[in-house]
A and B are shown apart, each in its own frame.
Chain A
Amino acid sequence: MSDHGLMPSQTIGPFFAYALTPTAYDYAALAGNDLRTDDAVGQPIVVTGRVFDGGGDLVPDAMIEIWQADGEGRYPGVSEALANTRFKGFGRSETLEGIYRFSTVKPGRITGPEGSDQAPHINVGLFARGVNRRLFTRIYFEDESTNQTDAVLALVPDERRATLIARRDGTENGLPRYVLDIRLQGEDETVFFEA
């Protein structure tokens, strides 16, 4: 055991927006919901979806954070090739009206255990009033053949895998749109991970 115990989590509460997602406030956002930059490598896309609670109601006060690689599967801070680019790989979306939305680039395949590939995916952290500790999930894409061999998806029972896989659904502002709803509880509850 460590002598230095972790700082426990506490809920983000209902009143974080003016600090963390201050689109409606006079404060510079650290990160917004558009991750695209001039030098970002990858297909620009929109990723969006609704967030539901266990009663089937939309959750209008969550913060969704994403962390992702670029179109070649490279993470900022890890890949030397991205050292001088503006692509941050990180974004935040509030869920006013219960909907999150990101404009970003589609991540590529990512190095996995023992030289295997991970299917393209976006790492997701969800914070909200009533959520004591960040919920961690992933967004995969339905049009990726590597989903069949992805080691993390393989941990998920077949009947629950669909909760992690965004479907292609038309376009938005000229960009391919991928849609995945997040259900905090109940039937079709989203798969959440612990790492």
Chain B
Amino acid sequence: MTMQYPRESLASEPQALTPDYKSTILRSPKRPLIGLDPTISELSGPVYGQESVLPTDSDLTRQHSGEPLGERIIVSGRVMDEDGRPLPNTLLEIWQANAAGRYVHVRDQHPAPLDPNFSGAGRCLTDDAGRYTFTTVKPGAYPWKNHHNAWRPAHIHFSLFGPSFLTRVITQMYFPGDPLFPFDPIFNSVSDEKARQRMISTFDFDTTESEWALGYRFDIVLRGRAATPFEDSE
């Protein structure tokens, strides 16, 4: 199927410069982006299959000898294109802080404990229906130095490939009802209200497992629509 990538769909993307998020001030290009019509270079993309994923990669609670501390959760959803068609065999990578709000990263200086049973990195592939599932623990909020008393709402970083170079996206998944949303310049770097809501997972009773873990649902739409037959024949 020939895909097209309408640029109008990008209207909900964050601007490069969002001054409340201070790191953008010197890291945002000032010249306008130069538009190009996609070539084979952009319409193709890296292929990573089952060989790139271990069974333990999608269960972040089973990567060490013991169980991590924290609230065990199951995060699942569907990855789709802009027509709502499932995207199978798409690689997802996630990373997150532990339940105390601390990252394994060597440069994370937040004085909260590391958890010897939690690294916080995972990956998986979507199945034939575009579905994915991760088991993990709910990450904690953590402070950062953007402004006085700045706290990031709890989030899981998501990285997705999709079928082409143009579908590649890195985003963050948030949890419903977080009181920190109004104060977070990264969440609010997305100025479109509806688009911001898409980054918030929903509590999902159907995937909640009795006596085991709470379920959260997070569906993800990547760029791309089927070209209409007329455009196909051009």
Where the two chains meet, the residues of A that have a C-beta atom closer than 8 Å to any C-beta of B are 1-20, 22, 24-28, 30-31, 53-55, 57, 59, 61, 65, 67, 69, 75-78, 88-90, 110-113, 118, 121, 123, 125, 127-135, 138, 151-152, 155-156, 160, 184-186, 189-195
CA A27 to CA B60, docked complex, whole Å: 12
Query: Please, which residues of chain A bring their CB within 8 A of the CB of B37?
Result: 113, 195
CB pairs A–B below 8 angstroms (13 shown): A1-B8, A5-B195, A9-B13, A16-B157, A20-B95, A28-B54, A30-B93, A30-B123, A31-B46, A78-B44, A128-B27, A129-B23, A132-B18
B176 at the interface (CB under 8 A from A): no
Size bracket, chain B contacts: 35 or more
A131–B187 CA distance with the chains assembled, in angstroms: 13
Q: What distance in Å separates the Cβ of A76 from its nearest Cβ neighbour in chain B? A: 6
B1 at the A interface (CB under 8 A): no
Contact B171 A121, beta carbon cutoff 8 Å: no
Interface residues in B12-43 by Cβ distance below 8 A to A read: 12-16, 18, 21-31, 33-42
A185 contacts across to B, CB distance below 8 A: 26-30
A22-B106 Cα distance, complex, nearest whole Å = 11
* In contact, B83 and A152 (Cβ under 8 angstroms): no
Q: Are B105 and A14 in contact (CB under 8 A)?
A: yes
Compute how far the CA of A19 lies from the CA of B119 in the bound complex, rounded to whole angstroms. 9
When the two chains form the complex, which single residue of B91, B119, B123, B189 contacts A11, counting CB atoms closer than 8 Å? Answer: B189
Contacts of B106 in A (CB 8 A): 24
A73 nearest in chain B by CB position: B40
> CA of A89 to CA of B41 in the docked complex: distance in angstroms?
11
B148 at interface, CB cutoff 8 A: no
In the complex, which residues of chain B have a beta carbon less than 8 angstroms from the beta carbon of A156? 34
Say yes or no for B131: interface residue by CB 8 A criterion: no
Tell me the bound Cα distance from A131 to B22 in angstroms.
Answer: 11
* Those 4 A-B pairs whose CB atoms lie nearest each other, nearest first: A130-B23, A19-B95, A90-B46, A130-B27
Q: State how many angstroms separate the Cβ of A1 from the closest Cβ of chain B.
A: 8
Asked whether B225 is an interface residue with its Cβ less than 8 Å from the other chain, the reply is yes
Neighbouring A residues of B35 by C-beta, 8 Å: 155, 193-195
Q: A18 CA to B47 CA in the complex, in Å? A: 22
Q: Is the CB of A123 within 8 A of B165?
A: yes
Report the minimal beta-carbon distance from A80 to chain B, rounded to whole angstroms.
13
Closest chain-A Cβ to B18's Cβ sits at a distance in Å of 6
Q: Contact between A132 and B36 (Cβ–Cβ < 8 Å)?
A: no
Asked whether, in the complex, the Cβ of A134 is within 8 Å of the Cβ of B168, the reply is yes
A20-B159, A110-B41 known; A14-B26 Cβ under 8 A? no
Per a CB cutoff under 8 Å, which of B10, B21, B105, B220 touches A130? B21
Q: Whole-angstrom distance from the CB of B95 to the nearest CB of chain A?
A: 4
Measured between beta carbons, the chain B residues less than 8 angstroms from A155 are: 34-36
Collect the chain A residues with CB atoms within 8 Å of residue B24's CB: 130-132
Contacts of A88 in B (CB 8 A): 46-47
A125 and B169 within 8 A (CB): no
Q: CA separation between A6 and B83, bound complex, in Å?
A: 11
Q: Is B103 an interface residue (CB 8 A)?
A: yes
Docked Cα-Cα span, A31 to B28, in Å, equals 26
Q: B157 touching A13 by the CB < 8 A rule?
A: yes
Interfacial chain A residues near B195, Cβ < 8 Å: 5-6, 8
Name which residue of chain B comes closest to A62, CB basis: B27
B104 — which chain A residues lie within 8 A by C-beta?
Answer: 18, 25
Contact, CB under 8 Å: A191 / B34: yes
Given the interface pairs A15-B103, A131-B16, the reply to whether A75 lies near B94 with Cβ below 8 Å is no
